Amino acid sequence: MVKLNELRDNAGAAKKRMRVGRGPGSGKGKTAGRGIKGQKSRSGVAINGYEGGQMPLYQRLPKRGFNNINAKHYAVVNLGLIQKFIDAGKLGQEITETELLDSGLVRRKKDGIRVLSKGEITSKVTITVTGASKSAIEAVEKAGGTLTVTGRAASAAE
């Protein structure tokens, strides 16, 4: 039987921390292993990427690519997942972006929600979202429902 007062860590599992700057007898006294003078002997030093006056590596390497600050980032939902949530009773026949958020199917709206056609949809539903792929629109209409696209993505989807 194990008693609470007999519980211990395994040998070598917990290593005691080195207390620096606590006298010459400790082996890490006086300068505490930081050397004498200079920037790194003082507190508040952050010199990551600094290479002693030499051109840093991140500046020597060629730059590639482009980040468009105006790009739209959509939360993506597949038709198969929508059908799964309808079967589970988490979504009704009228589906909007707020209902997708409330049901937990989409975590964050970002710049809108875009529906893609991965998976099958069998329910007759009315979906209103910011964007959708052409194949997703066709799949919903084939099942007898409607998929309405609002916002800027409406012209791209049609």
Given a cut of 70, is residue 157 above it in pLDDT? no
Task: List, in order, residues 6 or more apart from 114 with CB less than 8 Å away.
Answer: 74, 75, 76, 77, 129, 130, 131, 132, 133, 153
Residue 57 domain flag: no
- The predicted model gives 134-152 an average pLDDT of 90
The number of distinct structural domains making up the chain is 1
Residue 105 has what pLDDT? 92
Write out pLDDT tens, residues 83-109. Answer: 999 999 988 889 999 999 999 999 998
HSE value, Cβ hemisphere, 13 Å, CA-based, for 18 = 10
Token pair for 123: 């329910």
Confidence of residue 153 (pLDDT cuts 50, 70, 90): very low
Query: What CATH number is attached to the domain comprising 129?
Result: 3.100.10.10
Distance of CA 25 to the CA centre of its chain: 49
Residue 13 domain flag: no
Write out pLDDT tens, residues 26-73. Answer: 999 999 999 999 888 998 887 888 888 899 999 999 999 999 999 999
Residue 124 domain flag: yes
Task: Name the phi and psi angles at 52, rounded to 5.
Answer: 70, 40
Residue 116 domain flag: yes
Q: Which domain holds residue 126?
A: 75-149
Residue 81 domain flag: yes
Residue 63 has what pLDDT? 93
pTM tops 0.85 = no
